[in-house]
Structure 1
Amino acid sequence: MMKTKEKILLKALELFNEKGYTTITTRHIAAELNISPGNLHYHFKHSEDIIKILFQELVLKMDELLNTMKEMENNTLENLYQFTFSTCKIFYSFRFIFVNFVDILKEIPEIRSQYEEIHTSRKEEFQMIFSGLQKNNIFKKDVPEFMMDSLIQQIFIIADNWLTHNRLILKLDQEAAISHYTLLQMNLFYPFLNKEQQKLYEKQYITPTP
């Protein structure tokens, strides 16, 4: 049976995603769960405390995904696609964080400092994954270091901001958004693939124009 704390986190995530974290208070969450505000405050004094836990859950899910990718000895193009697709799914399920990213980092210093640390560690993890893809002849071996650094920065920029772009511009539903932005991020890798992998990429992921 789900504990009250878990119910609060699930309902908060749902409400934050639907209506934005700035419009949802702990009282709203308590009312949706048919519990008293006092019962909720026993577990979380402020909505910021809930956001901290949800951010931790996001980080843990990404840690698990990255660890799986790093542990694979012979990653393929399909592994890279599935990793990117899974990342987009995870990000979508915590979309309020990214849509309100600047405000959350500004208002909750603890999350900001954690994000800065994560940014550094993620860069090293991506370098390790891409090095493995070069060894497996998925990526070209003669990629200049500055291009690899740029690729990692581009991934971070798109990953952290595609949900805002979708909300403002494309307005795609969940399934269409995840598919579209997965491919958009995958297209970043195309110039780094060897010729054989580029042909495979076009065949598997690029829909022919009628």
Structure 2
Amino acid sequence: MKTKEKIISTALRLFNEKGYNNITTRHIAAELNISPGNLHYHFKHSEDIIKVIFSELIIEMDKMMNNLNEAEVKTLESLFDFTFHTYEIFYSYRFIFLNFVDILKKIPQIEAQYEKITMGRKNEFQTIFSDFQKNKIFQENLPDFIIENLSTQIFIIADNWVTHNSITLKLPKDEAIKHYSLIQMNLFYPLLNPEQQELYKLNYINK
């Protein structure tokens, strides 16, 4: 692993473990047993490291979205897998979500990225939801305002569940991912066809 990759990996771990506001480039350099000058050769400020980490998060999510989008047949299981793996990824980058507003204010580039991503994801989700209707997973006669607001509801839950867990339930990683991914999945339950609702309860609720 190259020095730059080691810096990013170590920074992500330290930010997650000790908190974004408690870690400087000096802490990262000390953890790697390299000089601050060596680290600053690659990244002048911790914000520069965070930009790269945020971009890596986006790349991982792009792959997930593309896989779901390109699936010829979309099922309830594929929707659950997408949701569950999304929450696994978000947990791996949890410091971003725990400090989301602060990071957006300090790093305008990330704020601009997030705004662009939000608009793009909404269009992607609309296509996915339409496919779920075609595949008779979702009901066909759902009101437009329900479908149009669904992506916003997903963003609200997905972007804030890590904070909610850290303040309230304090569940460990595996339990937290399972618990909150099901909470998001429950959004879809009223939209499912009756037979899919029964399948949902059988596979995800009554286990």
* Bin of the TM-score, shorter chain as denominator length: over 0.9
The offset of 1:49, in angstroms, is: 0.1
The offset of 1:21, in angstroms, is: 1.1
Structure 2, unaligned runs of 5 or more:
none
Superimposed CA distance per residue, residues 112-143 of structure 1 (whole angstroms, 9 cap, x where no aligned partner): 01100000000000001111010000000101
Q: Which amino acid is the alignment partner of residue 165 of structure 2?
A: N
Q: Does 1:51 align with 2:50?
A: yes
Q: Which amino acid is the alignment partner of residue 30 of structure 1?
A: A
1: distance between equivalents of 2:149 and 2:127? 15
1:12-161 to structure 2, matched below 5 A, reads 12-161=11-160
Superimposed CA distance per residue, residues 67-124 of structure 1 (whole angstroms, 9 cap, x where no aligned partner): 0000001110000000000000000000000000000000100100110000000000
2: distance between equivalents of 1:125 and 1:187? 20
2: distance between equivalents of 1:59 and 1:80? 19
Q: Which amino acid is the alignment partner of residue 106 of structure 1?
A: K
Q: Which amino acid is the alignment partner of residue 45 of structure 1?
A: K
1: distance between equivalents of 2:161 and 2:147? 21
2: distance between equivalents of 1:182 and 1:114? 24
The offset of 1:150, in angstroms, is: 2.0
Q: Provide the secondary structure at the position in 1 that maps to 2:21.
A: coil
Structure 1, unaligned runs of 5 or more:
none
Cα RMSD of the aligned pairs, angstroms, is 0.7
Moved over 4 A (4+): none
Identity percentage of aligned residues: 65
Q: Which amino acid is the alignment partner of residue 38 of structure 2?
A: N
The offset of 1:12, in angstroms, is: 0.1
The offset of 1:149, in angstroms, is: 1.6
2: distance between equivalents of 1:19 and 1:5? 21
Task: Give the total of aligned pairs.
Answer: 207
User: TM-score, normalised to structure 2's length?
Assistant: 0.99
2: distance between equivalents of 1:165 and 1:57? 24
